Amino acid sequence: MRHFDFLSPETRGRLFFREPREFGSDDSRDLLAAALGATLYSPATRPTLAVDIAKNFAHGVVGAVVCLEDAVADDDLPAAELNVVDQLTELARGGSARPLLFVRVRAARQIPMLVDRLGEHAGVLTGFVLPKFTATSGAQFLDAMVAAESASGHRLLAMPVLETPDVIYAEQRIDALLSVRALLDRHRDRILAVRIGATDLSSAFGLRRPRDLTVYDVRMVADAIGDIVNILGRPGPTGYPVTGPVWEYFTGTERLFKPQLRQSPFTEHAANALRDELITRDLDGLIREVHLDRANGLTGKTVIHPMHVATVHALSVVTHEEFADATDVLGTGGSGGAHASSYRNKMNESKPHTAWARRTMVRAHVFGVAHADVSFVDLLGAGLHR
């Protein structure tokens, strides 16, 4: 699979200095985590789930999650489990290309049960999303994954979700995260990424962020995100990729604050209508939050509507300036020193910027590098109006 593969070769050539490269489910965990991008969640009760997954993949979704947890009412759970097996079996039998595919379970018992029912088609699954993850519940989930993987002979990757009250309550958070880290370290080879359940974390205080604010404006959640990245998201062999929390809005209503998108980038690219469309759909808030995610060390984004995918992926493409900076930094071989950037607008310092440069190059591998004269506006316009 490859990001932006739905665009014509001519369009990709116009947009990309270096085009996104292909990747597959057998690639390294670090590469797959960077490639997840906008991970689209769908309720397990959807009667056309297989068709929807294939359609969304054709439109650029490379990371999909089928949800058996909060998206499904308790009374509907047995039927939802049957639907997941039927729909994923149909998808596997179809033989067509498909995204990295996960099931968000609500109980550890569902992991071996689903793998067993899928039987020879278990390979349709990339892994499982593990909700309400703590050191105690997480051990049960991960033990179930070990058993299911052993029984099926198929590699299964885990994405634990941190969303319990002990992660947001200040007096409990550090101990809880250290305990989770100790558990994850024992299962490092199967942990793809750590996800943040901002909705559940907010609910501990009876909060819900408005559409015109980002999650970083909700101070308790922002503080928790900082500690999660600090303890679990450190660069290098001791850390794990941490993904951005869900953006849960998909249609506009009356606004309290002004739009968060400047007019000039859109005017310069004759794309004022695109700016109006983004504002109408409240995607200006998503754009700002994705920028803040990356500034705070997060990778990718949980989304609940296909229209969000193009926005997240356009912002994930490495700019030509970022690529030039990363190349300059890594070209020193870690010998140190500071040098003016190729764009002559900043100082690149070899040692402190090396970890950033390496992460940027992984993102460049899966999302590509834009031409110097190509902006986010061009990439988003191509993705939304393909």
Output the known binding site for Mg(2+): 200
Residues 6+ apart with CB under 8 A from 75: none
Which amino acid, 248?
E
Residues 6+ apart with CB under 8 A from 248: 199, 304
Which amino acid, 331?
G
**Quick one: 163 exposed, middle or buried, by C-beta within 10 A (0-12, 13-18, 19+)?**
buried
In DSSP terms, which residues pair with 43 in a beta bridge? 67
Output the known binding site: 200
